Chain A
Amino acid sequence: MIGKLVVENVRTRPVPTLLSILLIAVPVTLILILVGLSHGLVNDSQRRALGVGADILLRAPSSNLMSMSTATIPQELIPKLLTFPHVVAATGVVTQSAGGLLETVTGIDPAAFNRMSGGFEFVEGHTFQKPDDIILDRYYAEQKKVHAGGKIHLMNRDWNVAGIVEPGKLSHIFVQIGVLQDLFSTPGMVSQIYLKLDDSKNTDAVVADLKSKLPGYPVYSMRDLVSMTSVDALPVLSTFTHVIIGIGVLIAFVVVCLSMYMAVLQRTREIGILKAIGAPKIFILQMILAEALIMGFGGTVFGILLSYGTRALLHSLVPSSLPQAVVYIWWPISGGIALGAALLGALYPGFSAAQKDPIAALSYE
Protein backbone atom coordinates (compact mmCIF):
# COMPACT_ATOMS: atom_id res chain seq x y z
CA MET A 1 0.00 0.00 0.00
CA ILE A 2 2.81 2.35 0.90
CA GLY A 3 4.40 1.30 -2.39
CA LYS A 4 1.29 2.27 -4.32
CA LEU A 5 1.23 5.63 -2.58
CA VAL A 6 4.90 6.24 -3.43
CA VAL A 7 4.48 5.18 -7.05
CA GLU A 8 1.43 7.43 -7.46
CA ASN A 9 3.34 10.29 -5.84
CA VAL A 10 6.18 9.84 -8.32
CA ARG A 11 3.74 9.65 -11.22
CA THR A 12 2.04 12.89 -10.29
CA ARG A 13 5.28 14.84 -10.66
CA PRO A 14 7.17 13.17 -13.48
CA VAL A 15 9.20 16.20 -14.53
CA PRO A 16 10.88 16.97 -11.16
CA THR A 17 11.48 13.26 -10.65
CA LEU A 18 13.05 12.77 -14.07
CA LEU A 19 15.17 15.90 -13.66
CA SER A 20 16.43 14.62 -10.33
CA ILE A 21 17.22 11.24 -11.86
CA LEU A 22 19.09 12.95 -14.68
CA LEU A 23 21.12 15.07 -12.28
CA ILE A 24 21.98 12.08 -10.10
CA ALA A 25 22.99 10.15 -13.23
CA VAL A 26 25.64 12.71 -14.16
CA PRO A 27 28.05 12.02 -11.27
CA VAL A 28 27.33 8.28 -11.51
CA THR A 29 28.42 8.43 -15.15
CA LEU A 30 31.48 10.54 -14.31
CA ILE A 31 32.57 8.05 -11.66
CA LEU A 32 32.12 5.14 -14.07
CA ILE A 33 34.00 6.98 -16.83
CA LEU A 34 36.94 7.74 -14.57
CA VAL A 35 37.14 4.28 -13.13
CA GLY A 36 36.67 2.80 -16.60
CA LEU A 37 39.45 4.96 -18.01
CA SER A 38 41.81 4.07 -15.18
CA HIS A 39 41.23 0.39 -15.71
CA GLY A 40 41.21 0.71 -19.47
CA LEU A 41 44.55 2.52 -19.53
CA VAL A 42 46.12 0.03 -17.17
CA ASN A 43 44.78 -2.99 -19.06
CA ASP A 44 46.00 -1.51 -22.32
CA SER A 45 49.48 -0.72 -21.07
CA GLN A 46 49.79 -4.12 -19.38
CA ARG A 47 48.75 -5.88 -22.55
CA ARG A 48 51.22 -3.90 -24.61
CA ALA A 49 54.05 -4.44 -22.11
CA LEU A 50 53.45 -8.19 -22.15
CA GLY A 51 53.24 -8.10 -25.94
CA VAL A 52 56.95 -7.35 -26.16
CA GLY A 53 57.66 -10.92 -25.11
CA ALA A 54 60.44 -9.87 -22.73
CA ASP A 55 61.14 -11.20 -19.23
CA ILE A 56 63.17 -8.27 -17.91
CA LEU A 57 63.23 -4.51 -18.40
CA LEU A 58 66.31 -2.40 -17.77
CA ARG A 59 65.87 1.33 -17.54
CA ALA A 60 68.19 4.29 -17.46
CA PRO A 61 69.74 5.19 -14.09
CA SER A 62 67.67 7.65 -12.05
CA SER A 63 64.62 7.18 -14.25
CA ASN A 64 61.26 6.73 -12.68
CA LEU A 65 58.68 4.20 -13.58
CA MET A 66 55.89 6.56 -14.44
CA SER A 67 57.87 9.11 -16.39
CA MET A 68 59.09 9.02 -19.93
CA SER A 69 62.82 8.36 -19.90
CA THR A 70 65.16 10.06 -22.31
CA ALA A 71 67.65 7.97 -24.15
CA THR A 72 70.64 7.81 -21.83
CA ILE A 73 71.69 4.16 -21.93
CA PRO A 74 74.62 3.52 -24.31
CA GLN A 75 73.60 0.80 -26.71
CA GLU A 76 77.02 -0.86 -26.36
CA LEU A 77 75.48 -2.32 -23.21
CA ILE A 78 73.24 -4.59 -25.29
CA PRO A 79 75.95 -7.01 -26.50
CA LYS A 80 77.30 -7.11 -22.95
CA LEU A 81 73.87 -8.07 -21.60
CA LEU A 82 73.71 -10.93 -24.10
CA THR A 83 76.72 -12.46 -22.36
CA PHE A 84 74.82 -12.82 -19.08
CA PRO A 85 73.72 -16.36 -18.27
CA HIS A 86 70.19 -17.29 -19.45
CA VAL A 87 69.81 -14.15 -21.59
CA VAL A 88 68.92 -15.20 -25.12
CA ALA A 89 67.76 -11.92 -26.67
CA ALA A 90 68.12 -8.21 -25.98
CA THR A 91 66.70 -5.19 -27.72
CA GLY A 92 66.93 -1.50 -26.98
CA VAL A 93 64.16 0.99 -27.69
CA VAL A 94 63.94 4.75 -27.68
CA THR A 95 60.72 6.29 -26.46
CA GLN A 96 59.71 9.81 -27.28
CA SER A 97 56.56 11.72 -26.48
CA ALA A 98 54.78 12.90 -29.59
CA GLY A 99 53.08 15.62 -27.64
CA GLY A 100 49.51 14.39 -27.77
CA LEU A 101 47.60 12.79 -24.94
CA LEU A 102 49.37 9.55 -24.04
CA GLU A 103 51.04 9.42 -27.47
CA THR A 104 54.42 7.78 -27.35
CA VAL A 105 56.60 7.13 -30.39
CA THR A 106 58.83 4.13 -29.93
CA GLY A 107 62.05 3.65 -31.87
CA ILE A 108 62.82 -0.02 -32.44
CA ASP A 109 65.44 -2.18 -34.08
CA PRO A 110 63.02 -4.19 -36.21
CA ALA A 111 65.10 -7.35 -36.45
CA ALA A 112 65.79 -7.61 -32.72
CA PHE A 113 62.29 -6.47 -31.76
CA ASN A 114 60.68 -9.09 -34.00
CA ARG A 115 62.92 -11.80 -32.62
CA MET A 116 61.71 -10.99 -29.13
CA SER A 117 58.04 -10.25 -29.77
CA GLY A 118 57.40 -12.71 -32.58
CA GLY A 119 56.95 -9.92 -35.12
CA PHE A 120 54.12 -7.61 -36.10
CA GLU A 121 50.91 -8.83 -37.62
CA PHE A 122 50.36 -6.50 -40.53
CA VAL A 123 46.83 -5.38 -41.37
CA GLU A 124 48.01 -3.16 -44.18
CA GLY A 125 51.35 -2.34 -45.81
CA HIS A 126 54.77 -3.60 -44.86
CA THR A 127 57.71 -3.00 -42.55
CA PHE A 128 60.21 -0.09 -42.59
CA GLN A 129 61.99 0.61 -45.87
CA LYS A 130 62.96 4.27 -45.78
CA PRO A 131 64.09 6.45 -42.85
CA ASP A 132 60.83 8.42 -42.72
CA ASP A 133 58.68 5.29 -42.63
CA ILE A 134 56.40 4.87 -39.65
CA ILE A 135 54.33 1.91 -38.45
CA LEU A 136 51.04 2.49 -36.60
CA ASP A 137 48.79 0.10 -34.74
CA ARG A 138 45.23 -0.28 -35.94
CA TYR A 139 43.72 1.78 -33.06
CA TYR A 140 45.91 4.75 -33.69
CA ALA A 141 45.50 4.53 -37.46
CA GLU A 142 41.70 4.45 -37.07
CA GLN A 143 41.86 7.38 -34.70
CA LYS A 144 43.96 9.40 -37.13
CA LYS A 145 42.06 8.03 -40.14
CA VAL A 146 45.20 7.11 -42.07
CA HIS A 147 46.05 4.11 -44.19
CA ALA A 148 49.26 2.50 -45.38
CA GLY A 149 50.81 4.73 -48.02
CA GLY A 150 49.39 7.84 -46.37
CA LYS A 151 51.17 10.60 -44.48
CA ILE A 152 51.09 11.61 -40.84
CA HIS A 153 52.60 14.64 -39.12
CA LEU A 154 54.32 13.89 -35.82
CA MET A 155 57.22 15.49 -33.95
CA ASN A 156 57.31 18.39 -36.42
CA ARG A 157 57.80 16.30 -39.55
CA ASP A 158 55.86 14.24 -42.05
CA TRP A 159 56.10 10.46 -41.97
CA ASN A 160 55.11 7.84 -44.54
CA VAL A 161 52.75 5.32 -43.09
CA ALA A 162 54.52 2.12 -44.18
CA GLY A 163 52.33 -0.35 -42.38
CA ILE A 164 49.45 -0.81 -40.00
CA VAL A 165 49.68 -3.62 -37.45
CA GLU A 166 47.46 -5.32 -34.90
CA PRO A 167 47.70 -3.55 -31.52
CA GLY A 168 49.24 -5.02 -28.39
CA LYS A 169 53.01 -4.76 -28.92
CA LEU A 170 54.54 -2.14 -26.60
CA SER A 171 53.42 1.00 -28.44
CA HIS A 172 50.89 2.48 -30.82
CA ILE A 173 53.53 4.23 -32.97
CA PHE A 174 56.85 2.84 -34.19
CA VAL A 175 59.80 4.27 -36.15
CA GLN A 176 63.31 2.96 -36.71
CA ILE A 177 65.55 3.45 -33.71
CA GLY A 178 68.36 5.18 -35.60
CA VAL A 179 65.98 7.74 -37.05
CA LEU A 180 64.67 8.70 -33.64
CA GLN A 181 68.22 8.87 -32.21
CA ASP A 182 69.30 11.25 -34.98
CA LEU A 183 66.18 13.32 -34.66
CA PHE A 184 66.78 14.00 -30.98
CA SER A 185 70.58 14.02 -31.14
CA THR A 186 71.10 11.00 -28.94
CA PRO A 187 73.10 8.78 -31.26
CA GLY A 188 73.98 5.43 -29.79
CA MET A 189 71.69 5.91 -26.79
CA VAL A 190 68.51 4.01 -25.89
CA SER A 191 65.78 4.65 -23.31
CA GLN A 192 65.34 1.10 -22.14
CA ILE A 193 66.44 -2.43 -22.90
CA TYR A 194 64.24 -5.53 -22.95
CA LEU A 195 65.74 -8.95 -22.22
CA LYS A 196 64.37 -12.37 -23.01
CA LEU A 197 65.57 -15.42 -21.09
CA ASP A 198 65.89 -19.05 -21.97
CA ASP A 199 63.30 -19.82 -19.30
CA SER A 200 61.11 -17.36 -17.40
CA LYS A 201 61.78 -19.33 -14.21
CA ASN A 202 65.26 -17.81 -14.14
CA THR A 203 63.92 -14.25 -14.04
CA ASP A 204 64.51 -13.55 -10.35
CA ALA A 205 68.06 -14.88 -10.45
CA VAL A 206 68.97 -12.84 -13.54
CA VAL A 207 67.37 -9.69 -12.09
CA ALA A 208 69.49 -10.10 -8.95
CA ASP A 209 72.60 -10.74 -11.05
CA LEU A 210 71.99 -7.63 -13.19
CA LYS A 211 71.35 -5.45 -10.17
CA SER A 212 74.66 -6.42 -8.60
CA LYS A 213 76.69 -6.04 -11.80
CA LEU A 214 75.04 -2.88 -13.07
CA PRO A 215 74.56 -0.75 -9.96
CA GLY A 216 72.34 2.27 -10.49
CA TYR A 217 70.30 0.71 -13.31
CA PRO A 218 66.69 -0.01 -12.34
CA VAL A 219 65.94 -3.59 -13.34
CA TYR A 220 62.41 -4.99 -13.29
CA SER A 221 60.93 -8.32 -14.07
CA MET A 222 58.12 -7.75 -16.56
CA ARG A 223 55.83 -9.79 -14.37
CA ASP A 224 56.36 -7.43 -11.41
CA LEU A 225 56.13 -4.43 -13.67
CA VAL A 226 52.73 -5.45 -14.94
CA SER A 227 51.39 -6.04 -11.47
CA MET A 228 52.81 -2.68 -10.38
CA THR A 229 50.93 -0.80 -13.07
CA SER A 230 47.70 -1.24 -11.18
CA VAL A 231 44.99 1.37 -11.11
CA ASP A 232 46.39 2.77 -7.87
CA ALA A 233 49.62 3.52 -9.67
CA LEU A 234 47.79 6.25 -11.56
CA PRO A 235 47.62 8.64 -8.62
CA VAL A 236 46.20 11.53 -10.60
CA LEU A 237 43.22 9.52 -11.79
CA SER A 238 42.44 7.97 -8.43
CA THR A 239 42.59 11.34 -6.65
CA PHE A 240 40.37 12.72 -9.36
CA THR A 241 37.96 9.83 -8.84
CA HIS A 242 37.73 10.66 -5.15
CA VAL A 243 37.02 14.29 -5.94
CA ILE A 244 34.28 13.27 -8.38
CA ILE A 245 32.79 10.91 -5.80
CA GLY A 246 32.69 13.80 -3.33
CA ILE A 247 31.04 16.08 -5.86
CA GLY A 248 28.64 13.29 -6.80
CA VAL A 249 27.55 12.80 -3.20
CA LEU A 250 27.01 16.53 -2.90
CA ILE A 251 24.99 16.75 -6.13
CA ALA A 252 22.75 13.79 -5.30
CA PHE A 253 22.28 15.08 -1.75
CA VAL A 254 21.34 18.61 -2.80
CA VAL A 255 19.16 17.51 -5.72
CA VAL A 256 17.15 15.07 -3.63
CA CYS A 257 16.96 17.45 -0.68
CA LEU A 258 15.57 20.27 -2.83
CA SER A 259 13.27 18.05 -4.84
CA MET A 260 11.80 16.28 -1.82
CA TYR A 261 11.55 19.53 0.14
CA MET A 262 9.42 20.96 -2.66
CA ALA A 263 7.42 17.74 -2.86
CA VAL A 264 6.72 17.82 0.88
CA LEU A 265 5.63 21.44 0.65
CA GLN A 266 3.36 20.67 -2.31
CA ARG A 267 1.86 17.72 -0.49
CA THR A 268 1.41 19.40 2.88
CA ARG A 269 -2.33 18.86 2.76
CA GLU A 270 -1.99 15.19 1.80
CA ILE A 271 0.41 14.66 4.66
CA GLY A 272 -2.18 16.25 6.93
CA ILE A 273 -4.81 13.84 5.59
CA LEU A 274 -2.55 10.84 6.20
CA LYS A 275 -1.90 12.01 9.75
CA ALA A 276 -5.61 12.57 10.34
CA ILE A 277 -6.36 8.96 9.40
CA GLY A 278 -3.70 7.83 11.84
CA ALA A 279 -0.46 7.56 9.84
CA PRO A 280 2.44 7.50 12.30
CA LYS A 281 5.60 9.56 11.77
CA ILE A 282 7.55 6.55 10.56
CA PHE A 283 4.98 5.96 7.79
CA ILE A 284 5.41 9.49 6.45
CA LEU A 285 9.20 9.25 6.72
CA GLN A 286 9.26 5.91 4.88
CA MET A 287 7.11 7.34 2.14
CA ILE A 288 9.53 10.23 1.52
CA LEU A 289 12.65 8.05 1.78
CA ALA A 290 11.19 5.49 -0.61
CA GLU A 291 10.65 8.21 -3.18
CA ALA A 292 14.26 9.34 -2.76
CA LEU A 293 15.43 5.75 -3.22
CA ILE A 294 13.53 5.59 -6.49
CA MET A 295 15.36 8.72 -7.64
CA GLY A 296 18.74 7.33 -6.53
CA PHE A 297 18.08 4.01 -8.22
CA GLY A 298 16.84 5.64 -11.41
CA GLY A 299 19.90 7.89 -11.42
CA THR A 300 22.19 4.89 -11.06
CA VAL A 301 20.58 2.94 -13.88
CA PHE A 302 20.56 5.97 -16.14
CA GLY A 303 24.16 6.77 -15.19
CA ILE A 304 25.26 3.26 -16.14
CA LEU A 305 23.50 3.56 -19.49
CA LEU A 306 25.16 6.93 -20.07
CA SER A 307 28.59 5.45 -19.32
CA TYR A 308 28.06 2.98 -22.17
CA GLY A 309 27.31 5.98 -24.36
CA THR A 310 30.57 7.73 -23.46
CA ARG A 311 32.44 4.46 -23.96
CA ALA A 312 31.09 4.11 -27.47
CA LEU A 313 31.88 7.76 -28.11
CA LEU A 314 35.48 7.50 -26.86
CA HIS A 315 35.98 4.30 -28.78
CA SER A 316 34.90 5.86 -32.04
CA LEU A 317 36.84 9.09 -31.46
CA VAL A 318 40.10 8.01 -29.81
CA PRO A 319 40.37 4.22 -29.68
CA SER A 320 44.10 4.14 -28.95
CA SER A 321 44.55 6.75 -26.27
CA LEU A 322 41.42 6.53 -24.09
CA PRO A 323 40.17 2.99 -23.71
CA GLN A 324 37.25 2.96 -21.25
CA ALA A 325 36.78 -0.41 -19.58
CA VAL A 326 33.45 -1.56 -18.10
CA VAL A 327 34.20 -2.19 -14.44
CA TYR A 328 31.17 -4.04 -13.09
CA ILE A 329 32.21 -3.87 -9.44
CA TRP A 330 31.81 -0.09 -9.66
CA TRP A 331 28.12 -0.38 -10.60
CA PRO A 332 27.05 -1.27 -7.07
CA ILE A 333 29.66 1.09 -5.62
CA SER A 334 28.48 4.11 -7.62
CA GLY A 335 24.88 2.99 -7.05
CA GLY A 336 25.49 2.78 -3.32
CA ILE A 337 26.99 6.26 -3.39
CA ALA A 338 23.97 7.65 -5.26
CA LEU A 339 21.42 5.87 -3.06
CA GLY A 340 23.21 6.83 0.15
CA ALA A 341 23.41 10.47 -0.85
CA ALA A 342 19.77 10.45 -1.96
CA LEU A 343 18.66 8.97 1.36
CA LEU A 344 20.69 11.55 3.28
CA GLY A 345 19.19 14.31 1.16
CA ALA A 346 15.66 13.07 1.90
CA LEU A 347 16.18 12.88 5.65
CA TYR A 348 15.50 16.53 6.38
CA PRO A 349 12.41 16.81 4.15
CA GLY A 350 11.25 13.45 5.48
CA PHE A 351 11.55 14.42 9.11
CA SER A 352 9.97 17.81 8.53
CA ALA A 353 7.04 16.07 6.83
CA ALA A 354 6.72 13.58 9.68
CA GLN A 355 6.73 16.40 12.23
CA LYS A 356 3.99 18.43 10.57
CA ASP A 357 1.08 19.46 12.73
CA PRO A 358 -1.97 17.73 11.19
CA ILE A 359 -4.37 20.64 11.79
CA ALA A 360 -2.05 23.19 10.21
CA ALA A 361 -1.33 20.79 7.33
CA LEU A 362 -5.05 20.22 6.71
CA SER A 363 -5.76 23.94 6.49
CA TYR A 364 -2.83 24.46 4.06
CA GLU A 365 -3.99 25.65 0.66
Chain B
Amino acid sequence: MSDPIISIRKLRKVFRVGEVDIEALRGVDLDVPRGEFLSVVGPSGSGKSTLFHIVGGLTPPTSGTVLVGGEDLSKLGDEGRTRLRQKTVGFVFQKFNLLPTLTAGDNIEVARYIAGNRNGPDPEFLRILELLGITHRLNHKPNALSGGEQQRVAIARALVNRPAILLADEPTGNLDSENSAAVLGLLRGLNRRLGQTVLMITHNPEAAAYGDRIVRMQDGRIVA
Protein backbone atom coordinates (compact mmCIF):
# COMPACT_ATOMS: atom_id res chain seq x y z
CA MET B 1 0.00 0.00 0.00
CA SER B 2 1.27 3.51 -0.92
CA ASP B 3 1.63 6.41 1.53
CA PRO B 4 -1.70 7.64 2.97
CA ILE B 5 -3.23 10.55 1.05
CA ILE B 6 -3.94 12.26 4.39
CA SER B 7 -1.65 12.02 7.38
CA ILE B 8 -2.42 14.08 10.48
CA ARG B 9 -0.32 14.28 13.66
CA LYS B 10 -1.01 16.19 16.89
CA LEU B 11 -3.32 18.60 15.10
CA ARG B 12 -4.60 21.41 17.29
CA LYS B 13 -6.89 24.26 16.32
CA VAL B 14 -7.66 27.14 18.65
CA PHE B 15 -10.21 29.84 17.78
CA ARG B 16 -9.83 33.12 19.58
CA VAL B 17 -13.23 34.69 20.21
CA GLY B 18 -12.76 38.01 21.97
CA GLU B 19 -10.75 37.17 25.11
CA VAL B 20 -11.61 33.49 25.08
CA ASP B 21 -9.71 30.67 23.41
CA ILE B 22 -11.87 27.88 22.04
CA GLU B 23 -10.01 24.63 21.47
CA ALA B 24 -11.85 23.03 18.58
CA LEU B 25 -9.20 20.33 17.97
CA ARG B 26 -7.02 19.06 20.81
CA GLY B 27 -4.52 16.73 19.20
CA VAL B 28 -5.93 14.75 16.29
CA ASP B 29 -3.97 11.87 14.72
CA LEU B 30 -5.42 10.33 11.57
CA ASP B 31 -4.22 8.50 8.46
CA VAL B 32 -6.47 8.05 5.44
CA PRO B 33 -5.27 5.71 2.70
CA ARG B 34 -5.84 6.68 -0.92
CA GLY B 35 -9.16 5.33 -2.17
CA GLU B 36 -10.82 5.00 1.24
CA PHE B 37 -14.41 6.01 2.03
CA LEU B 38 -14.14 7.26 5.61
CA SER B 39 -17.13 8.20 7.76
CA VAL B 40 -16.62 10.68 10.61
CA VAL B 41 -19.22 10.72 13.36
CA GLY B 42 -19.52 12.42 16.73
CA PRO B 43 -21.64 14.88 18.67
CA SER B 44 -22.22 18.41 17.59
CA GLY B 45 -19.29 20.71 18.45
CA SER B 46 -16.81 17.85 18.62
CA GLY B 47 -14.63 19.42 15.88
CA LYS B 48 -15.63 17.39 12.81
CA SER B 49 -16.22 20.38 10.54
CA THR B 50 -13.10 22.13 11.78
CA LEU B 51 -11.06 19.04 10.90
CA PHE B 52 -12.50 19.08 7.36
CA HIS B 53 -11.89 22.83 7.03
CA ILE B 54 -8.22 22.32 7.85
CA VAL B 55 -7.77 19.32 5.57
CA GLY B 56 -9.54 21.28 2.80
CA GLY B 57 -7.37 24.35 3.25
CA LEU B 58 -10.13 26.73 4.35
CA THR B 59 -8.23 27.60 7.53
CA PRO B 60 -4.69 26.93 8.74
CA PRO B 61 -3.90 24.56 11.65
CA THR B 62 -2.77 26.12 14.93
CA SER B 63 -0.14 23.42 15.46
CA GLY B 64 0.71 19.87 14.43
CA THR B 65 1.34 18.49 10.96
CA VAL B 66 -1.27 17.88 8.27
CA LEU B 67 0.09 16.14 5.17
CA VAL B 68 -2.31 16.13 2.22
CA GLY B 69 -0.91 14.48 -0.89
CA GLY B 70 2.53 14.83 0.65
CA GLU B 71 2.19 18.61 1.21
CA ASP B 72 2.39 20.01 4.75
CA LEU B 73 -0.58 22.34 5.21
CA SER B 74 0.95 23.91 8.34
CA LYS B 75 3.58 25.39 6.04
CA LEU B 76 1.14 26.65 3.40
CA GLY B 77 0.17 30.30 3.14
CA ASP B 78 -3.06 31.75 1.85
CA GLU B 79 -2.04 31.24 -1.78
CA GLY B 80 -1.02 27.66 -1.18
CA ARG B 81 -4.35 26.88 0.47
CA THR B 82 -6.18 28.53 -2.44
CA ARG B 83 -4.33 26.25 -4.85
CA LEU B 84 -5.13 23.22 -2.65
CA ARG B 85 -8.85 24.10 -2.82
CA GLN B 86 -8.65 24.43 -6.60
CA LYS B 87 -6.83 21.18 -7.37
CA THR B 88 -6.58 18.75 -4.49
CA VAL B 89 -9.84 18.81 -2.55
CA GLY B 90 -13.51 19.25 -3.33
CA PHE B 91 -16.14 20.27 -0.78
CA VAL B 92 -19.75 19.17 -0.49
CA PHE B 93 -21.80 20.93 2.18
CA GLN B 94 -25.01 20.25 4.01
CA LYS B 95 -26.57 23.40 2.52
CA PHE B 96 -25.52 22.57 -1.07
CA ASN B 97 -23.97 26.04 -1.44
CA LEU B 98 -24.57 26.49 -5.14
CA LEU B 99 -24.27 30.00 -6.57
CA PRO B 100 -27.94 31.05 -6.94
CA THR B 101 -27.39 33.33 -9.93
CA LEU B 102 -25.77 30.69 -12.13
CA THR B 103 -27.27 27.62 -13.79
CA ALA B 104 -26.24 24.18 -12.53
CA GLY B 105 -23.94 23.81 -15.53
CA ASP B 106 -22.31 27.19 -14.91
CA ASN B 107 -21.87 26.35 -11.23
CA ILE B 108 -19.73 23.45 -12.37
CA GLU B 109 -18.00 25.49 -15.08
CA VAL B 110 -17.04 28.29 -12.72
CA ALA B 111 -15.14 25.81 -10.56
CA ARG B 112 -13.34 24.51 -13.63
CA TYR B 113 -12.57 28.08 -14.74
CA ILE B 114 -11.22 29.11 -11.34
CA ALA B 115 -8.88 26.12 -11.32
CA GLY B 116 -7.46 27.41 -14.60
CA ASN B 117 -8.76 24.45 -16.59
CA ARG B 118 -9.96 25.80 -19.95
CA ASN B 119 -10.16 22.52 -21.83
CA GLY B 120 -13.80 21.73 -21.24
CA PRO B 121 -15.11 18.51 -19.75
CA ASP B 122 -12.87 15.43 -19.99
CA PRO B 123 -14.49 12.09 -20.84
CA GLU B 124 -14.13 10.83 -17.31
CA PHE B 125 -16.00 13.84 -15.94
CA LEU B 126 -18.78 13.24 -18.45
CA ARG B 127 -19.04 9.75 -16.99
CA ILE B 128 -19.32 11.26 -13.52
CA LEU B 129 -22.15 13.55 -14.72
CA GLU B 130 -23.91 10.54 -16.15
CA LEU B 131 -23.44 8.60 -12.94
CA LEU B 132 -24.92 11.56 -11.00
CA GLY B 133 -27.91 11.65 -13.37
CA ILE B 134 -28.06 15.44 -13.75
CA THR B 135 -27.07 15.84 -17.42
CA HIS B 136 -30.60 16.97 -18.32
CA ARG B 137 -30.83 19.47 -15.46
CA LEU B 138 -27.71 21.52 -16.18
CA ASN B 139 -29.55 24.48 -17.73
CA HIS B 140 -31.61 25.12 -14.62
CA LYS B 141 -30.86 27.54 -11.82
CA PRO B 142 -30.50 25.97 -8.36
CA ASN B 143 -33.89 27.25 -7.15
CA ALA B 144 -35.54 25.19 -9.91
CA LEU B 145 -33.87 21.99 -8.68
CA SER B 146 -34.88 19.66 -5.85
CA GLY B 147 -32.58 19.29 -2.86
CA GLY B 148 -31.35 15.94 -4.12
CA GLU B 149 -30.59 17.42 -7.54
CA GLN B 150 -28.81 20.41 -6.01
CA GLN B 151 -26.63 18.11 -3.94
CA ARG B 152 -25.72 16.07 -7.02
CA VAL B 153 -24.74 19.28 -8.84
CA ALA B 154 -22.63 20.20 -5.81
CA ILE B 155 -20.92 16.79 -5.98
CA ALA B 156 -20.26 17.30 -9.69
CA ARG B 157 -18.80 20.73 -8.97
CA ALA B 158 -16.59 19.29 -6.23
CA LEU B 159 -15.25 16.66 -8.64
CA VAL B 160 -14.89 18.74 -11.83
CA ASN B 161 -11.17 19.31 -11.30
CA ARG B 162 -10.62 15.63 -10.37
CA PRO B 163 -9.45 16.29 -6.81
CA ALA B 164 -7.67 13.60 -4.85
CA ILE B 165 -10.06 14.05 -1.93
CA LEU B 166 -13.80 14.69 -1.64
CA LEU B 167 -14.82 16.22 1.69
CA ALA B 168 -18.55 15.92 2.39
CA ASP B 169 -19.80 17.69 5.54
CA GLU B 170 -23.21 16.18 6.39
CA PRO B 171 -24.16 15.88 2.69
CA THR B 172 -27.54 14.29 3.51
CA GLY B 173 -28.40 16.60 6.44
CA ASN B 174 -30.94 18.54 4.35
CA LEU B 175 -32.31 15.61 2.35
CA ASP B 176 -35.26 13.26 2.86
CA SER B 177 -34.45 9.58 3.35
CA GLU B 178 -34.99 8.68 -0.31
CA ASN B 179 -32.66 11.38 -1.61
CA SER B 180 -30.22 10.62 1.21
CA ALA B 181 -29.97 7.04 0.12
CA ALA B 182 -29.49 8.11 -3.48
CA VAL B 183 -26.69 10.56 -2.64
CA LEU B 184 -24.97 8.06 -0.33
CA GLY B 185 -25.20 5.43 -3.03
CA LEU B 186 -23.64 7.85 -5.49
CA LEU B 187 -20.77 8.67 -3.13
CA ARG B 188 -20.09 4.99 -2.64
CA GLY B 189 -20.34 4.41 -6.40
CA LEU B 190 -17.79 7.15 -7.10
CA ASN B 191 -15.54 5.64 -4.47
CA ARG B 192 -15.84 2.11 -5.83
CA ARG B 193 -15.74 2.80 -9.56
CA LEU B 194 -13.30 5.70 -9.71
CA GLY B 195 -11.29 5.03 -6.58
CA GLN B 196 -12.29 8.47 -5.31
CA THR B 197 -11.11 9.10 -1.73
CA VAL B 198 -14.17 10.31 0.22
CA LEU B 199 -14.35 11.70 3.76
CA MET B 200 -17.91 12.16 5.01
CA ILE B 201 -19.25 13.68 8.20
CA THR B 202 -22.64 12.35 9.31
CA HIS B 203 -24.88 12.15 12.34
CA ASN B 204 -26.72 9.18 11.00
CA PRO B 205 -25.35 5.69 11.84
CA GLU B 206 -27.03 4.24 8.73
CA ALA B 207 -25.26 6.81 6.56
CA ALA B 208 -21.98 6.18 8.34
CA ALA B 209 -22.29 2.52 7.47
CA TYR B 210 -21.74 3.37 3.79
CA GLY B 211 -18.08 4.04 4.66
CA ASP B 212 -15.24 1.54 4.67
CA ARG B 213 -14.32 2.73 8.14
CA ILE B 214 -15.91 4.91 10.81
CA VAL B 215 -14.02 7.25 13.15
CA ARG B 216 -15.70 8.92 16.10
CA MET B 217 -14.79 12.37 17.40
CA GLN B 218 -15.45 13.87 20.81
CA ASP B 219 -14.17 17.07 22.42
CA GLY B 220 -11.73 17.75 19.62
CA ARG B 221 -10.18 14.29 19.62
CA ILE B 222 -10.65 11.06 17.71
CA VAL B 223 -11.89 8.53 20.22
CA ALA B 224 -12.43 5.48 18.06
Contact = CB atoms under 8 A, between A and B. Distances in A.
A2 B112 CA distance: 12
Contacts of A270: 99-101
Interface string A1-17: 11011001101100000
Interface string A265-298: 0000110111111111101000000000000000
B49 to A, nearest CB: 9
Interface in B95-127: 97-102, 106, 109-111, 113-115
A4 B85 contact: no
Interface in A279-319: 279-281, 283
A8 B157 contact: no
B58 A276 contact: yes
A274 B113 contact: no
A362 interface: yes
Contacts of B203: none
A273 B97 contact: yes
Contacts of B59: 357-359
Contacts of B85: 275-278
Contact of A359 (B53, B98, B109): B53
A277 B157 contact: yes
A269 B84 CA distance: 20
Contacts of A2: 113
What band does the interface of chain B fall in when counting residues whose beta carbon is under 8 Å from A? 20 to 34
Interface string A336-365: 000000000000000000000111001000
What band does the interface of chain A fall in when counting residues whose beta carbon is under 8 Å from B? 20 to 34
Nearest to B157: A277
B82 interface: yes
A11 B101 contact: yes
Contacts of B157: 277
Interface string B69-112: 00000000011001111110011010001111110001001110
A255 B187 CA distance: 47
Interface string A103-138: 000000000000000000000000000000000000
A269 B86 CA distance: 18
Which 5 A-B pairs have CB atoms at the shortest separation, nearest pair first? A278-B86, A8-B101, A278-B85, A1-B113, A277-B111
Given A276-B91, A277-B114, A362-B93, 9 more contacts: A4-B102, A8-B102, A274-B99, A274-B110, A275-B82, A276-B97, A278-B83, A281-B78, A358-B58
